[in-house]
Structure 1
Amino acid sequence: MTLIKRLGPLVLFLSISSHIQSTFAQGKYEWKQVSAGGYNYKYVTNDPMQTRFYKLKNGLTVMLSPNKKEPRIAVKIAVRAGSNTDPKDHTGLAHYLEHLLFKGTDKFGSLDWNKEKPLLDKIEGLYEQYNATKDEDKRKEIYKEIDNVSGEASKYAIANEYDKLMTSIGAQGTNAHTWVEETVYEEDIPSNSIDKFLKIQAERFRNPIFRIFHTELEAVYEEKNRSLDNDGNKMNEAMHYYLFPTHNYGQQTTLGTIDHLKNPSLKAIREYYNQYYVPNNMSIIMSGDFNPDELVKKIDAQFAYMQPKPVAEYKPAAEQPITEAIVKDIYGPSAENMRICFRTPAEGTRDALMLQLISSILSNGTAGVFDLNLNKQQKLQSAGAGMQQYKDYGIFILFGTPKEGQSLEEVKKILISQLDVLKKGDFDEALIKAIVANAKLSEIQNLEQNGARANALMSAFISNKGEGWKQNVSSLDEQAKITKQEIVNYANKFFGEGYVVLYKRKGEDKNILKVEKPAITPVETNAGKQSDFVRMINNMPESPIKPQWLDFKKDIQKGKVGNADLFYAQNKENESFRLFYSFDMGSWNSKSLPLSAAYLSFLGTDKYTAEAISKEFYNIACSFSMNTSNEQTTISISGLHENFEKAVALFEHIIANCKADEDALISLKGRVMNDRANNKLSKEMIMYGLTSYATYGAKNPFNYTLSNEEVSKLKAEDLVGVLHNLMNYKHYLIYFGPKSKTEITASLLELHKMPAEFRTYDAGLKFERMKQMENKVLFADYDMVQSEIKWERNASKYDPAIEPTVDLFNGYFGGGMGSVVFQTIRESKALAYSTFAAMATPNKKEDPFSITAYVGCQSDKMNEAVSSMNELLNVLPLSEKAFDAAKKSLLQDIETQRITQDGPIGVYLAAQKKGLNYDIRKYKYETLQKLTFDNLRKLHQQELANKPYAYCVVASDKRVKVEDLNKIGKVNKLSLEDIFGY
């Protein structure tokens, strides 16, 4: 389950093509209906996505948005059903139904349906008995029988044959998510596989079979347990619960209650499927390389079997107004933060439009009220505002994180004070125009991505079956008409005393429970077997797609700007630009360089305050950033090209003339110290530190940082001096925009002043990767239900010749749902919700390959999970069908990949770091076709099997036994200071 935030409307600011440019200028948005290819469809005039909205005879909605940039298609199959429509006595049902839609039908996923069906019927009956039984001893007896019959049924099941199917046709990103009003199935497919894809999907929804159920339900249990360890998830659930005391938004969580998860009903799941998975409640949404006239006929032909059925929409009683503040405390081990949450009106209303604009006035990342008054002035650790919009209501959220020494109550007071600023109108009316301009610029970039297009259409379907697309397309133009006075009037009316305040406090959550692990016998997965349906799909013809290679001599345009190299790519699609200054030095050259980069955001010059700089950039729809990694520092400037000279000149002025600000540095130091303390409360950061420790040893890149004492001694003039001198160091430029190379060279020679001779970089510290000689355990204690285990090992030195084998091995062994690791650890043994394993290719020729494996599981499953992963690391199972599918998928990925815009420059620079002067994809493509399973077996034996590993474990020492860890290897329980270096 993925929580998704509804995307805003996709509206074009500048033309994507001459056709769109001419129509957009009319400034009108109207529904039109036409006929083409024997089908009627609707469209909205001046829709930059040129979406066609079809309604087939059986009521199925089809939304098609052509985009010919690459031979791929993003797909969303959306159902207007989620936790809102779960039965009251079976919450979580929509979500685990989503999981079961990957299990196949009577035609695929089964070796012998006639023999499998009676066993599945028996399992369904046993679950009904299990539900009706209250006596725990009898329940255990029934579950033991469920486990036994499930084992028999699994002999006829082919686990994850759906994923194998999708892999075989070159699909990427096979996934699904469930949320309050939606269940959505997601794919990204090659355009030449559309016939196969549609046949598979039509079959998938024809008669889904709920096989291998009890192990999949265990995966849902794991997902629930992971949510209990996630403080952000607990805040989300509390936010919905208190804002919506009546509506199912608040009263039914997507993952369901523990009690309901323990008492599933296959009968209830089938009834739910029959009620909501009907054509008049579903949409097929596609964006990509296709002819819509031809595609709609194919969709109609495959899905015509679906019969319409009335669907009763969820009609909740209206929520009563919140008349006073509701204040609640949420506890957990992560860093403290807080939210102020207001319930908002329905999607598509004038109120929702106003509140979307108000959220950007308060917080847009650059020049909003919060951005300037709180973040820029460092009055809090961080602050922001945003909207979560649903069909019936929405949520307006103010959120803040305290600085060191600040209470959560003080954060609340500061956030509320900024609402008073809004109510008084203490903001520039020009901000509204700037918000719209920046939003439209953002949408230009979204239009380039099929996934973003499909996601926007999906949201429109879920909220109103797509009927509001005209409103979506025109919404930014409508926002541009809103005046400052209207905003002020609305803010004074809306932001009253009725809201929910949530304080996320550090402390033990005494209410936390977990879904207990039932006794499960590993089931058969039949990994190497195949149904007749799959053979039929594989035998269907498809038109070949010819891969395209880069020729670095022809495709990489180089030049000079003074003594700096220039890499150039022309933007022929729209009027946006990107400019990068790149330095081959980073924190390994200077520990304080990242602090200088962070400090820049808070500095003014002799002409501008820091706040004025943010306003200037935002008003011209441009931005800049400075980011420092271990060995690289990159400055990026981007935005509307008509303001290119203004943006670059402004940045050059800032970097050369920024002034030391002692107060800003004091605040920055305090925030850095607080960030460091908060990082020590994050299990993700702790695991990141453990893996760096495992790779490099006690002194490693993760903890190579300034000590707290060194931070406290930093001087403003020293940090500013680094910034003033930065352009004196060797760097190169990358430009992507509409100007010709000659024009941009002349422009940059004028704007970007450089020394006659570059300074050399300060010598950087080099970290040597460890050679693991024996198994060891690096353990970090963390208060959580789950345990997180990572295997780390440095392998052989980099050799481009084995990259194709490594890629194929990863696809076969530890990548997607059809991989050996996933099939064994999750599908067969139900030991983890999340698991993977891969051999990582280094970014530099000096670095070796490395091995990473991962399992996130309940603490009481850790020993079994570790044993299962180790078995796979030592013995590589053979499945010819899975091997062939993995190889075909990789070949199709390469065939359909199109490297555009400034992408070729990135590929070229990455190749240079590996010592290559050619596009390695061509070598991979040619080599992959010759590889056999013996190549994978040899790689596995040489690099993974029977090798020592560093086991990184983040878990509660109250739930994991030290003696169990000692069986794995020598245990080193690391302190937070060991891990973080401060």
Structure 2
Amino acid sequence: MLKKLTLTLATALVSAVGVAQNQFEWKQASGNGYTYKFVSNDPTKARFYTLKNGLTVILSPTKKDPRIQAYIAVKAGSKTDPSTNTGLAHYLEHMLFKGTDKYGSLDWAKEKVELDKIDALYEKYNQSKDSTERKNIYKEIDKVSGEASKYAIANEYDKLMTAMGAQGTNAFTSFEQTVYTDDVPSSSLDKYLAVQAERFRNPVLRIFHTELEAVYEEKNRTLDNDGRKVFENLFASLFKNHNYGLQTTIGTVEHLKNPSLVEIRKYFHKYYVPNNMGVILSGDFNPDEVIAKIDKAFAYMQAKPIDKYTFKPEAPITAPIIQEITGPDAENITIGYRLPGNKDKDALLADLVGQVLTNGKAGLLDLNLVKKQRLLRASAFTYTLIDHGILYLSAAPTNGQTLEEAKSLVLAEIENLKKGNFDDNLITSIINNIKKSKIYETEKYADRASTLMDAFTSELDWKDQVAYVNDLSKIKKEDIVAFANKYLGENYVAILKRKGENQNKVKIEKPQITPVETNADKQSDFLKQINAMPSNASAPVFLDYDKDIQKSKLGNAEVLYVANKDNDIFRLKYRYKIGSLNDLKQSLASQYIQFLGTDKMTAEEISKAFYKIACSFTITTGEEFTTVNIEGLQENFENAIKLYEEVISNVKADDVALKALKARIAKSRKDNKANKGAILQGLTSIAMYGPKNKFNNSLSNAELEALTAQELMDRIKNLNNYEQTVVYYGPTPLKTLVSQLQAFHKVPTTFTATPAAKEFKQIAQTSNQVLFTDYDMVQAETRWIRNTETFDPNKNTIVNVFNNYFGGGMGSLVFQTIRESKALAYSTFGFYVAPQKKEDQYYMMSYVGSQADKFNEATVAMNELLTKLPEVPANLDLAKIQVKKDIQTERITQDNIIFNYLNAKQLGLKEDARKKLYASVDGIAMTDLKDFHKNYFSEKPYTYAIVASEKKVAMDDMKKLGEVKKITLEEIFGY
């Protein structure tokens, strides 16, 4: 474990870290006939194996949860895409979910004949330039694909994983990695390894044209994403000779239109070889046993030479490069400096530079720009890749500011960095906080696996990662200043993202696709063999609120306590019964305090004081509660709570800060109106509650402008007088905790009555209705909303099974039909959402994000599913298995135990709801699902919330769904 921190003096930590100069070393050991390497004093206890065929295996055992986070990582991404086939690594990633000749197929011999025809047609299509000929070829591809799909079983990979209780089944591709991820029960590890070994043996590129259409959809979504455009433009401007800038991960429109299955296979055989791959596992297992199983499973793989990616050096940037892009989102500024790659001696310094600029609390941007409200937001971080790095700065102007002014403010902080205008002890404070974050990083098996996987694909020496904090402690202020002056001059790229009409009108037009067979009710022999493999399921562990939570009193306040037996982290919360539904100004008071000082300390000094002791405090106001959250290292517990109480008791009003806060809020409101996600959420709230709803429950602009500092100060000072609950997770015994709190936190003998809460009742959908807001975009975002009835604990089981069956993961009816079979959307789902309070109602929310020209087909497809529930008995079995296995392996721990209890109380429950769910899930039959669907969804009216461009989605098409109401931004947001 990491050594306990000593933080009484800033220098004490650095000297303590510095003592351990030689504590991190590579060592070698053996177990079960396998030799492995490990790093001494590694908190992850990771073992590094290299098998005979070159496959890297990294194992990090921890027994807290009966699960394993598993990654299979390939050191190949868009950087190694052929220049003639950009996006190839990414769509190969998609195809690795389609199966092999052993699974995903009903009759491989017959299917292969059709797939070979498709291969040849795509090569012909790829080479043709004649538009008429291309359309004819694609019609033939569509026709043959339909024939081939008769022999295919769509998404059998997901069914295999679901049956073994996997979670988070997915994959991702970036510049230098393609990674396949699953979180599996420990008892299913043998099944997982058998499936993965088969998965990479001989992947079959089946159901290709519908999956490629999903990639088209993904590409079109990026064309609607201003942030993505800024990112790609920045990299293209910084890197003229390297594939970081020359090509994007998702590829060009032209290349996506002209795929080559031959090139995909070439790429697979070139890079998906054992000496270029890693299997990374963290969780509950015996590494001596597991390494033998992995070796046996992947022994068939054969090593091949891998050509190292080469590139020409970049020419120096000698003057600022200024680029502009426009789009409907709010304006912002992004600045990038080119830095060395992650092997360079300055890479460690680059990381620290990013932290000095912004760490969320005490960086130059944090204190000088955000805390002083000179910008709406500002941040910096280092994006370090193998060959190059970037110092990535971004900022948003506040009200009345130009992008040029925001840019100047950010660059002024770069000058402060270069001049050394920052506290001498800031580096020590950063190290303290990084060490705390490392404790968090090793707490959970999933975080361990992620960190190890990233180090592998980034080709980093794990010893350096373990020694990271120790190495950082050797860096001095003069090193930071020298680095800044070396790399951060007039050699930057600035992207000015302005609000305006989207100039990038390019989109991938939809091809004509005939829905393919999914054979959802069929199973391959391979799937049956995997399911038949023995596995000893973990026994579920349910919460006993009386035993798992200790309770005490702090005056009139209840104390809820769970002990931290793992490390020295504490989390303390004061949960006050006052929220925005009681008082809209309370949430503004919670925002205001972060910009205020006391009679002895400025707001900036308060931030630095907390950051110095690796602690923090925040105040947030939700609908019903305002919560003070104080967290950090237990040895600084008293210092942290004392500092908080001093701040809250002595905070002083500041009219200048209030004026700046009002400007920030005004700008945020303006930005919200330019955010399609916020617009869709607002439409959803109107659909659920009517014109006056929770989303637009806010002060008017006039009320905001009239707000006084005294009104907010009254709320800050009165906060502790409300009914409150104290929540604590940490290593201090309960009795000691209460004693410590009594000395600093004074609970009143009588609580102030909480103002009555404003009520918003969910409305009944009596007829089909469309709520539409126009937005300049390529896609169309559509939600279906229907409120039903108030909470019923007896429906918990059917709701959970239905959601898994109908609209959950990749094996659900919604995904299989709308994306897999009909290629109508990249993202789609459908859930029956349970309320958080017993008096609230359930509601149905379905969603399709499709190209605008697929709007009609996509809405028809979802409505068909909502009208008639397809019967797939095998999928029902999977849905029930998933529910059971999730419960068997879920361990609710730490302060999550307390929040589970508090949530249960709001629903009127006295015990862990999973207990009854687990006992009853096997009794759910198809007739139950059909009755549930009939009673709540079929032939029922819905409200459609639609965000799209009225130039691309015709009003007449929306009228087919119901009465159309065009909703203004003022109606949505209430200001």
Which of the five TM-score ranges fits, normalised by the shorter chain? over 0.9
Partner SS state of residue 592, structure 1: helix
**Once the two structures are superposed, what CA deviation does each residue of 1:633-692 show, in whole Å capped at 9, x if it has no partner?**
111000011110111011111112211000000000001000000000000000010000
**Once the two structures are superposed, what CA deviation does each residue of 1:353-376 show, in whole Å capped at 9, x if it has no partner?**
111101111100001111111111
Contact 2:577 2:722 in 1 (8 A): no
Residue 405 of structure 2 corresponds to 410
Residue 914 of structure 1 corresponds to 907
| The one of 748, 759, 762 aligned to 2:755 | 762
Gapped runs of 5+ residues in structure 1? 1-9, 16-20
Residue 301 of structure 1 corresponds to 296
| The one of 474, 497, 506 aligned to 1:504 | 497
The 1:14/1:281 distance shift into structure 2, 3 A limit, reads: farther
Residue 479 of structure 2 corresponds to 486
Residue 210 of structure 2 corresponds to 215
Contact 1:14 1:574 in 2 (8 A): no
Contact 1:100 1:213 in 2 (8 A): yes
| The one of 845, 859, 863 aligned to 2:852 | 859
Contact 1:23 1:46 in 2 (8 A): no
**Counterparts of 1:903 and 1:857, CA distance in 2:** 37
| The one of 516, 526, 545 aligned to 2:519 | 526
**Counterparts of 2:5 and 2:650, CA distance in 1:** 34
Q: Does 1:691 align with 2:684?
A: yes
What pairs with 1:159-178 in structure 2 (closer than 5 Å)?
Answer: 159-178=154-173
What pairs with 1:171-570 in structure 2 (closer than 5 Å)?
Answer: 171-464=166-459, 468-570=461-563
Contact 2:576 2:719 in 1 (8 A): no
The aligned amino acid for 1:510 is: Q
Contact 1:12 1:444 in 2 (8 A): no
**Counterparts of 2:869 and 2:311, CA distance in 1:** 54
Partner SS state of residue 481, structure 1: coil
Relative to the length of structure 2, the TM-score reads 0.98
Q: Does 1:583 align with 2:576?
A: yes
**Counterparts of 2:162 and 2:267, CA distance in 1:** 29
**Once the two structures are superposed, what CA deviation does each residue of 1:832-890 show, in whole Å capped at 9, x if it has no partner?**
00000000111100011110000000001001100000000011111111111111111
What pairs with 1:791-806 in structure 2 (closer than 5 Å)?
Answer: 791-806=784-799
Contact 1:24 1:46 in 2 (8 A): no
The 1:427/1:286 distance shift into structure 2, 3 A limit, reads: same
Please report how far the alpha carbon of residue 99 of structure 1 lies from its aligned counterpart in structure 2 after TM superposition. 0.3
Residue 942 of structure 2 corresponds to 949
Please report how far the alpha carbon of residue 936 of structure 1 lies from its aligned counterpart in structure 2 after TM superposition. 1.2
What pairs with 1:108-187 in structure 2 (closer than 5 Å)?
Answer: 108-187=103-182
Please report how far the alpha carbon of residue 584 of structure 1 lies from its aligned counterpart in structure 2 after TM superposition. 2.5
Q: Does 1:573 align with 2:562?
A: no
Contact 1:649 1:751 in 2 (8 A): yes
Residue 65 of structure 1 corresponds to 60
Residue 657 of structure 2 corresponds to 664
**Counterparts of 1:303 and 1:250, CA distance in 2:** 35
Q: Does 1:99 align with 2:61?
A: no
The 1:12/1:151 distance shift into structure 2, 3 A limit, reads: farther
| The one of 54, 71, 79 aligned to 1:76 | 71
The 1:23/1:190 distance shift into structure 2, 3 A limit, reads: farther
**Counterparts of 1:285 and 1:14, CA distance in 2:** 30
Please report how far the alpha carbon of residue 827 of structure 1 lies from its aligned counterpart in structure 2 after TM superposition. 0.3
**Counterparts of 2:552 and 2:697, CA distance in 1:** 37
**Counterparts of 1:650 and 1:755, CA distance in 2:** 20
Please report how far the alpha carbon of residue 825 of structure 1 lies from its aligned counterpart in structure 2 after TM superposition. 0.2
The aligned amino acid for 2:156 is: E
Residue 7 of structure 1 corresponds to none
| The one of 605, 629, 653 aligned to 1:612 | 605
Residue 971 of structure 1 corresponds to 964
Contact 1:11 1:473 in 2 (8 A): no
Contact 1:796 1:943 in 2 (8 A): no
The aligned amino acid for 1:496 is: G
**Counterparts of 1:512 and 1:353, CA distance in 2:** 41
**Counterparts of 1:35 and 1:752, CA distance in 2:** 54
The 1:847/1:24 distance shift into structure 2, 3 A limit, reads: farther
Partner SS state of residue 625, structure 1: strand
Partner SS state of residue 106, structure 2: coil
What pairs with 1:810-825 in structure 2 (closer than 5 Å)?
Answer: 810-825=803-818
The aligned amino acid for 1:384 is: S
Contact 1:11 1:476 in 2 (8 A): no
Deviates more, 1:888-897 or 1:931-940: 931-940
**Once the two structures are superposed, what CA deviation does each residue of 1:99-120 show, in whole Å capped at 9, x if it has no partner?**
0000000000000001100000
**Counterparts of 2:924 and 2:961, CA distance in 1:** 35
**Once the two structures are superposed, what CA deviation does each residue of 1:395-422 show, in whole Å capped at 9, x if it has no partner?**
1012111111111111111111111111
Q: Does 1:87 align with 2:73?
A: no
Contact 2:86 2:255 in 1 (8 A): yes
Partner SS state of residue 808, structure 2: coil
Contact 2:576 2:720 in 1 (8 A): no
Contact 1:656 1:723 in 2 (8 A): no
Residue 700 of structure 1 corresponds to 693
**Counterparts of 1:322 and 1:733, CA distance in 2:** 55
The aligned amino acid for 1:56 is: L
Contact 1:344 1:396 in 2 (8 A): yes
**Counterparts of 1:784 and 1:730, CA distance in 2:** 47
Contact 1:772 1:794 in 2 (8 A): yes
The aligned amino acid for 1:622 is: C
Residue 10 of structure 2 corresponds to none
Partner SS state of residue 317, structure 1: coil
Please report how far the alpha carbon of residue 585 of structure 1 lies from its aligned counterpart in structure 2 after TM superposition. 2.2
Please report how far the alpha carbon of residue 49 of structure 1 lies from its aligned counterpart in structure 2 after TM superposition. 0.5
Q: CA RMSD in A?
A: 1.4
Partner SS state of residue 342, structure 2: coil
**Counterparts of 2:631 and 2:54, CA distance in 1:** 44
Please report how far the alpha carbon of residue 509 of structure 1 lies from its aligned counterpart in structure 2 after TM superposition. 2.7
Partner SS state of residue 712, structure 1: helix
**Counterparts of 1:672 and 1:980, CA distance in 2:** 13
The aligned amino acid for 1:104 is: G
Deviates more, 1:23-32 or 1:951-960: 23-32
Deviates more, 1:834-843 or 1:931-940: 931-940
**Counterparts of 1:493 and 1:125, CA distance in 2:** 54
**Counterparts of 2:282 and 2:3, CA distance in 1:** 17
**Counterparts of 2:323 and 2:870, CA distance in 1:** 52
Please report how far the alpha carbon of residue 27 of structure 1 lies from its aligned counterpart in structure 2 after TM superposition. 5.5
Residue 3 of structure 1 corresponds to none
The total of aligned residue pairs comes to: 966
The 1:212/1:65 distance shift into structure 2, 3 A limit, reads: same
What pairs with 1:47-66 in structure 2 (closer than 5 Å)?
Answer: 47-66=42-61
**Counterparts of 2:127 and 2:827, CA distance in 1:** 32
Please report how far the alpha carbon of residue 604 of structure 1 lies from its aligned counterpart in structure 2 after TM superposition. 0.7
Residue 928 of structure 2 corresponds to 935
Contact 1:587 1:593 in 2 (8 A): yes
Please report how far the alpha carbon of residue 25 of structure 1 lies from its aligned counterpart in structure 2 after TM superposition. 6.3
Q: Does 1:743 align with 2:728?
A: no
Please report how far the alpha carbon of residue 903 of structure 1 lies from its aligned counterpart in structure 2 after TM superposition. 1.9
Contact 2:75 2:176 in 1 (8 A): yes
